[in-house]
Amino acid sequence: MNVGIVGGGQLARMLALAGYPLDLQFQILDPAADACAGQVATLIQGDYDDEARLNSLADWADVVTFDFENVPAATARALEQRVAVYPPALALTVGQDRLYEKTLFWELGIPTPVFATVDSLEDLRGAAIRVELPAVLKTRRLGYDGKGQRVLRTPEDIEPAWRELGGVPLILEGFVPFEREISVLAVRGRGGETLLYPLVENHHRDGILRLSRAPHHDRMLEHIGWNYACRLLDRLRYVGLLAIEFFVHEGRLVANEMAPRVHNSGHWTIEGAETSQFENHLRAILGLPLGSTAAVGSSAMLNCIGSMPEREAVLAVPGAHYHAYGKAPRPGRKVGHITLHAADSDELRAGLERLLPLVGFQLDEFDSIA
C-alpha cells in the first residue's frame, strides 16, 4: 500500500521507518530539497499549494497524512477530493488556530485557561482586565515550541507585547501555575475503534520539550484525560494519532493544546510500548487493526537540541537508544532524540542520571522523577 505524507520532517521520517516492516511504500511532499524524511523515502519537492505536485501525490497514494498541523487547510481539502486523507481537514483547521481549538475544548466540557480574542491594542487592554494578569499572549496561528508567545505579568507589559506580536490575530490566555505537564496520546481507527496510551509526564525548558517519561502513574487523571480525548476524537470524526497537552493544576487537568498528528511526547513508544505511535497511526489511517498501546516497563525520551551527543557515550548506557534525524546541527533545532527503556522506575532513574548530562542537564533539574 502507498502512503503519501505532506511534510518531510522527522515525524514523516519516523512514520516511514515504522511502515516499511508493514510492507508500505512512502512518498513525501516538502518544499525543502534537504527534508530529512527524503533520506528514507521518495521526496517530491514542491510547495504545499503546488497543484501539480499534490495531484501527483494523490494519484499515487492510497492514503495521505501529515507530519505537522500547519499544512494549509485548503491543501487538505483539495486532497480529500482525490484520495483518502487522515486526519480530516477539519482537525487541521482546529489545530491551526488556538481560538478554534480553545472554543472546541470549551464546547466539549474540556477545561481550558480563560481566554479572550485580541485584534488591537485596545482589545488587549480590555482582555487583560477580563482574563486578569498574569496571562499569556499568543499568536492564534503558527505557534510551536514556545514561539509566538509573551507572558504579561503587569500592565506595563501590555504595550511591549503588542509591539512584538501585534499585526496578526492573537489570543490572551490566563496563566496556569501548573504543578506538572502531561500529555494524552490516543489513536482512532477508520471504524471508530479507539485506544489510548498511558499518561506521559513532560518537562519543558525555554518552551521546548526536553524530557518525557512514561507511564505517569495517576489512574484518576489518566481516566479523566482519556475521557477528554475520546470526546475530541468523536467530535472531529478523527482517524489517526492525536495528542493533547494538559497542565495539572490543583489536581485537575487543564487543556493547553492539541496536535493532530504523531507527537514529540510519544517518541518513547518506539521502544517503550507494544506498538509505537507511528505504527498505530499508520494502522489507523489504512484501516488495519490497531496494536496494543500498553507500556512495556518504564521509559523516558530526551530531545537532542542543536546537536547530537556522542553516540558511543549514549549507547554505553543500558537501555538507551540513539535516534538521529539526519539534520545538520543548528542552535535550537531538534536534531534527534534518545529513548531510555528500563524494567522499572529505579532503573530508569539510574539511566537518566547518566544520559541527561550528555544533553546539558542534570537529573535534579527535573522534579517529580521517581
Residue 189: which residues within 8 A CB-CB, separation 6 or more? 239, 283, 284, 287, 288, 289, 290
Q: What is the pLDDT of residue 368?
A: 61
Number of residues in the chain: 370
Per the structure block, which three cell numbers stand in for 111? Answer: 477545561
Q: What is the mean pLDDT of residues 182-201?
A: 98
**CA 73/CA 184 separation, integer angstroms:** 24
Lowest mean pLDDT among 28-42, 62-76, 132-146, 180-194: 132-146
Q: What is the mean pLDDT of residues 265-292?
A: 98
Residue 28: which residues within 8 A CB-CB, separation 6 or more? 4, 5, 7, 8, 12, 16, 35, 37, 38, 41, 42, 43, 44
**All structural domains of the chain:** 2-85 (3.40.50.20), 114-174 (3.30.1490.20), 180-365 (3.30.470.20)
Per the structure block, which three cell numbers stand in for 32? Answer: 525543502
Q: What is the pLDDT of residue 294?
A: 98
Write b or e for each residue in 32-62: b if 16 or more Cβ atoms lie within 10 A of its Cβ, otherwise e. Answer: eeebbbbebbebbbbebebeebbebbbebbe
The three-state secondary structure class of 314 is helix
**CA 259/CA 331 separation, integer angstroms:** 24
The backbone torsions φ and ψ at residue 165, rounded to the nearest 5 degrees and listed phi first, read: -110, -15
On the question of pLDDT at 73 being above 90, the answer is no
Q: Which of 138, 194, 185 is nearest to 161 (CA)?
A: 138
Q: Is the torsion defined by CA of 124, 125, 130, 131 positive or negative?
A: positive
Q: What value, to the nearest 5°, has the Cα angle with vertex 229 and ends 224 and 232? A: 130
The three-state secondary structure class of 263 is coil
Q: How confident is the model at residue 343 (pLDDT cuts 50, 70, 90)?
A: very high
**Choice between 1 and 145, residue whose per-residue pLDDT is larger:** 1
Q: What is the pLDDT of residue 202?
A: 97
Q: Which of 225, 284, 236, 227 is nearest to 260 (CA)?
A: 236
**What percentage of residues in the chain have a pLDDT greater than 90?**
92
Q: What is the pLDDT of residue 167?
A: 84
What are residue 213's DSSP bridge partners? 201, 300
The backbone torsions φ and ψ at residue 286, rounded to the nearest 5 degrees and listed phi first, read: -95, 0
Q: Convert the pLDDT of each residue in 235-250 to its tens digit.
A: 999 999 999 999 999 9
CA 211 distance to own-chain centroid? 13
pTM comes to 0.95
Q: What is the pLDDT of residue 56?
A: 96
Q: What is the mean pLDDT of residues 262-283?
A: 98
Q: Convert the pLDDT of each residue in 208-265 to its tens digit.
A: 999 999 999 999 999 999 999 999 999 999 999 999 999 999 999 999 999 999 999 9
| 13 Rama class: left (phi>0) / alpha (psi -120 to 50) / beta | alpha
177-180 long-range contacts, CB within 8 A, separation 24+: 177/249, 178/247, 178/248, 178/249, 178/254, 179/248, 179/249, 179/250, 180/247, 180/248, 180/368
Q: How confident is the model at residue 370 (pLDDT cuts 50, 70, 90)?
A: very low
On the question of pLDDT at 175 being above 50, the answer is yes
**Choice between 314 and 366, residue whose per-residue pLDDT is larger:** 314
On the question of pLDDT at 304 being above 60, the answer is yes
Residue 359 DSSP one-character state: G
